[in-house]
A and B are shown apart, each in its own frame.
Chain A
Amino acid sequence: MAQAKPKKNGAVEKKLIGMADVVIAAAQRAKDPTFAIPIRALSNVSFNPRKGLIEMGEKKQARSFFNVGMAKKFMQTMLVADALSELQRADLTTSLREIYYRTKHTIQDSHENTFDTQDESDPIIEDLEVSLVALREELHVRAENSGSIVGPVVFGDDGDRVDCAKLGKGGYSVPSIVEPEYLEIRRCTADFLLLVEKGTQWNRLSEDKFWRRYNCVLLTGNGQPPRGVRRLARRLHEEHRLPVYVLVDNDPWGYYIYSVVKQGSINLAFESQRMAIPKAKFIGLSSADPERYELPRNVGIKLNDKDVTRAKELLNYRWFQKPAWQEEIKRMLANGLKFELDALANKDFQYLTKKYLPRKLKEKDWLD
């Protein structure tokens, strides 16, 4: 566990202790101890078109102890709460995986484990985030560091000056917690921010020094961007007014990554406030690009059943109702193909750097 910055924030800890009070109070009145946990599903989110954000609804589900189906989860919730409050008291941060190991043990006089896999503890942490209205960072839980940034931006990290223009082609590894207390943005002279889905394409752009030529910041989250990456993009956008462009594969998952960056995720909709970038633009790969850039059909991949189902789901999401988006998704379905960014290499290794992106930027060819 890493030493965190000292904070005076006792609010989260108070909320965690409040859970024990719920149990004690219920027991005194011979009632079944119950927590109300906001439902994290599509059925309980709404899209606010004015703010361009996904917001969580009011629906909650009860988690009671004296219910055979929930008893174990209830017990697990208490154990996680206990572990989280331990972090608060010790002022440490930790990972999801460490929480799992910290709370796993054999229940006395039995062969039963409190948790059998991490799949059981992760959702409970999310449950607590939403029920206690505390961000994961506030709970001192970090995600994996799996993002990179390069470009004309200077950070202060634990007192060290990090100039991302002087870190070669590898760039700076984005920490999972990038709140101002942990990471300071000292200077940023870029004109825009390009968020790339895949590490491979980010490497290509970094190696070709695309950022120097177009004076931008290159950021990647290696797939679905982790919270640190999203939060950093949001800060650069907000604090340094960088327009954000998202470059993803042309498939339903790429569209969804873009939408999470832009208006937040369904699962943790309550965090949209601090994470989403409603003004982010989708720069590519668009389903119109193969034709426009003359990509041969044989570098496409046939959509599978899952892709088609997912694409149809996206068509129904309220935040994909703009005509341009409906057209974009339907075009992909009509073609029956998806394209990876890597497919651009079919034309030239540096096609992305030298032709594709320059033309996109020049033509302002993006979707909102």
Chain B
Amino acid sequence: MATKTSPPSIRSSKTVSQSVTIDSEQAAPRKKPSLTEKGTSAVTAIEMGTRQREISVSEFFTKNRHLLGFDNPRKALLTCVKEAVDNSLDACEEAGILPDVTVKLETVVNGPTPVTPSQATRFRVTVTDNGPGIVRAQVPRIFAKLLYGSKFHRMRMSRGQQGIGISAAGMYGQLTTGKPVKVISRTGPRATAHYFEVQIDTKKNEPLVHENKQIEWAQPQGTEVAIEVEGRYQKGRASVDEWLEQTSIANPHVRLVYQTPEGETKEYPRTYHELPPSPKEIKPHPYGIEFGVLLKMLQDTKSHTVASFLASDFCRVSPALAEEMCKSAKLSPDAKPRAVKHQAAETLYKTIQTTKIMAPPTNCISPIGEKAILSGLYKQIKGEFYTAVSRPPAVYRGNPFIIEAGLAFGKGPEESVKPQPAAMPLAEGEDHGHDTELARVIRYANRVPLLFQQSACSTFKAVLNTTWRNYGMTQSRGALPAGPMVIFVHMASVWVPFTSESKEAIADYDEIQKEITLALREAGRRLGIFLRRKERAASEFRRRNIFDLYIEEVVEACNRLKGGKLPTEQLKEQLHKIASSRTGGLKTDEALGKTGAGPEGLPHSIIVTTEGIEGETEVAQQTATVPVVSSKPAQFERLSETKAPVKSVRAPKVRPGSGRAKRPAAAKAKVGQQDLFVGDASSGKKAALPKRKRPATSLTRKRK
């Protein structure tokens, strides 16, 4: 069914008037903006009228690509990766499949000679997943029609929201390279794989299919998207590499393989073998809607009366409450929703806002969970102390949300024990330079890393407003705390309030700030306990150290005073004995963690020493032992949303104490339980896959 068309003219939107703006977030095409004020220039309304015409969304995009994250070639490359990976993860999770995603970046030779990745200006981004696949009929519209998706029309937590993401990436590719988007999709081992090449008709916002054929595909199920784009590849802050790494921290249930443009393959293994509980879809809460949305809902509803509209289109509104609201709004409960307009609608809106309504249900959001956060942090960040906090659900403007925070602190046990680089002894007036490294904040919205506009983000502000000094960190006024620390903040919600369309920073609602602050405080408090404990042990250690240090000097001085005839070794030994008995002997050993007492009073935390790990050891060990699972067929990874019996995997606390080899050794001991865990979850529950409501726009998907 190959429909071949000539490539569309890319620059067709050049004549669009600059003065036209689009104000709605959905960027819906606007019909003839009305002129209300006379222009002050010599241009007449008639002349202007000749220039006023419809703008297609795609035309709008060409002009405003920065709104969607395509401001510059470097960021554009990242956005393409991000949109494709987000979709893959959303699709896998919704289908109850543990995601296995491969990201491949290749340079595309654009001139006579090949170039290095850092010089290249053209890349092919290929993202492959083991998700449910996409039915044939939907592929063109998903990848070549803006504002087409399954997620916008429902209140359910997901990474994507708007139905722009992947088609915008495709369009960016088309605009910059002229190449179509190439898609392979297969909905199951018994279905055939289809290959598509699609482009977007930028004027009509409709897909153009260049190629569509059945192919052989090694993968039993999933989707592969390949987009050729103009971009720049550069490591470091806000790079593809950083984004993938942070994604893997917040999504330890994902196995991510990254083939860099240099040809390297990096693997972020799955360290958490449980899918996040599937979020339920909810109806909007009355507090959460804006007036305009209410008007639209009144028009679109299938209900025949206002009362039933209120009761069935919103959550937490019972028929009785609906009648009551109608009464207070002086509306007949039997009035036709479409007839409620103007003043009446406004009164209804105000009444809704002032009526006492139960908070929305919160099962529509799925937090990452403390264990998974710990596991993600532990896997990716070297440190001595990890902790994670999930707050109970809260609500802002009718939207339920959950805040989670985590900390990874320290330079890793090896480094903290390692003697500092041999510094020169100090001259008079000199001073040891202090560690001025600032903490790093990693931010997430619905598990997606936010890499831009940090200072505009509510999470960042909450970090600054937290008094880290209370927890033993140094912090100058209005700055991040100083020290080797990564601060993790995640907001999960059915609707994350971003400050702009490009989804880069979370808006500053009081309720959100408060929750973030509470989460950070709890994490900080645990860090404080850890640091104090460490400090106490260190000070005992220092005490003993001081004596040990000075004994040498004192003995040598005595020896010289005695004319060099002193049995110095004997005197040293005697003094060392006194020192040890005076600094608590065994007790200090204990405080130094040499006896391996666990982190009391530190829930959801891991402490790492050279001797081993303490705390939520099973989390850490999953990380340490999980074998690479890529050889397994994808379906084996399918897990139910029902929690695996975590109890059975709880390992006895590791009792380290016999040297550095402890971690791997302890890990080995756990392999048996590990297997049990995986086997249990996948065999027992396979048949009972969750029945999930399929949204209207979703793709039909047969499950075997």
Contact = CB atoms under 8 A, between A and B. Distances in A.
B439 interface: no
Nearest to B419: A109
Contacts of B549: 107, 109-110, 112
Nearest to B552: A108
Interface in A29-54: 30-32
27 contacts: A19-B561, A20-B557, A20-B562, A20-B566, A23-B554, A24-B562, A24-B566, A27-B571, A30-B574, A30-B577, A32-B582, A65-B547, A65-B575, A66-B582, A68-B543, A72-B546, A74-B550, A75-B553, A78-B553, A78-B561, A85-B560, A107-B549, A107-B552, A108-B552, A111-B420, A111-B432, A114-B553
A23 B578 contact: no
A62 to B, nearest CB: 15
A85 B425 CA distance: 27
A17 B578 contact: no
Nearest to B553: A75
Interface string A82-123: 100110000000000000000000111111111011000000
Given A17-B562, A111-B425, A113-B426, A79 B553 contact: yes
B557 A113 contact: no
B546 A71 contact: yes
Given A28-B574, A71-B546, A20 B561 contact: yes
Contacts of A85: 560-561
Interface size class for chain B?
A: 20 to 34
Contacts of B546: 68, 71-72
B550 A107 contact: yes
A16 interface: yes
Contacts of B552: 107-108
B426 A111 contact: yes
Interface centre among A27, A74, A86 (most CB of B within 10 A): A27
Given A20-B561, A28-B574, A79-B557, A66 B425 contact: no
B651 interface: no
Interface residues of A, number: 35
Contacts of A23: 554, 558, 571
A285 B574 CA distance: 61
A81 interface: yes
Interface of A: 16-17, 19-20, 23-24, 27-28, 30-32, 65-66, 68, 71-72, 74-75, 78-79, 81-82, 85-86, 106-114, 116-117
Contact of A78 (B422, B428, B554): B554
Contacts, number: 88
A82 B428 contact: no
Interface string B43-84: 000000000000000000000000000000000000000000
A32 B577 CA distance: 11
A116 B428 contact: yes
A116 B427 CA distance: 7
Nearest to A68: B543
B403 to A, nearest CB: 43
Nearest to B573: A27
B687 interface: no
B571 A107 contact: no
Contact of A66 (B424, B547, B553, B571): B547
B340 interface: no
Interface string B562-602: 10001000010011011101100000000000000000000
Nearest to B426: A113
A75 B550 contact: yes
Interface string B632-667: 000000000000000000000000000000000000
A81 B558 CA distance: 9
